[in-house]
Amino acid sequence: MTATATVTAVGPRIDADRAGVHAVFSSTATATRAAQSARPAAAPKTRLRLTRRGRAVFGGLATVLIAGALGVAASFAAPGAIANGAASSQEFPYVVAQSGDSLWSIASALEPTADPRDVVAEIQRLNQIQASDLQAGDAIAVPLRFAGSEATFPASDL
């Protein structure tokens, strides 16, 4: 009688007939092993390693996010700084716009030797107005260097 032991799920079939013991793989055992190797094995927990390029990408992303956050914070802080600035405590000289006056004519009257474009730009920044916003009777603040001019008067006279 021949003693043959077949293990289908675990390993090869062993043929003990012969003088030596030989392992013979059955098709079921081979198929089972192939199915087991196709399953994803539990991967050993390893640390994620970034390449130099990956570190550069994450560093750049962090830099962009921080710069964006600072920009947003600065934009929210800026209006408060303008509204509560020290410039509001200074008393600027004023000019009252007459009928037919423009910022250009006011700038030319204040400083005839200078380029009126520069003076107009200063007046617009100081009053936060456009050239088309000027109407007769408007009190226009002018830079402090014109405080002694004949065309200006202090804010207390308004």
- 131-150 per-position pLDDT tens digit: 677 888 888 888 888 877 77
Q: 67 lies in a domain?
A: no
Q: How confident is the model at residue 35 (pLDDT cuts 50, 70, 90)?
A: low
- 85-128 per-position pLDDT tens digit: 444 557 888 888 888 888 888 888 888 888 889 988 988 898 88
3-state secondary structure of 39: coil
Q: 152 lies in a domain?
A: yes
State both tokens at 52: 């130099």
Q: 83 lies in a domain?
A: no
Helix, strand, coil percentages (3-state) for the chain, rounded to 5, are 50, 10, 40
Q: How confident is the model at residue 79 (pLDDT cuts 50, 70, 90)?
A: low
Q: State pTM to two decimals.
A: 0.42
Question: How many domains in the chain?
Answer: 2
Q: What is the pLDDT of residue 99?
A: 87
**Which domain range does residue 13 map to?**
4-38
CATH number of the CATH domain containing 137: 3.10.350.10
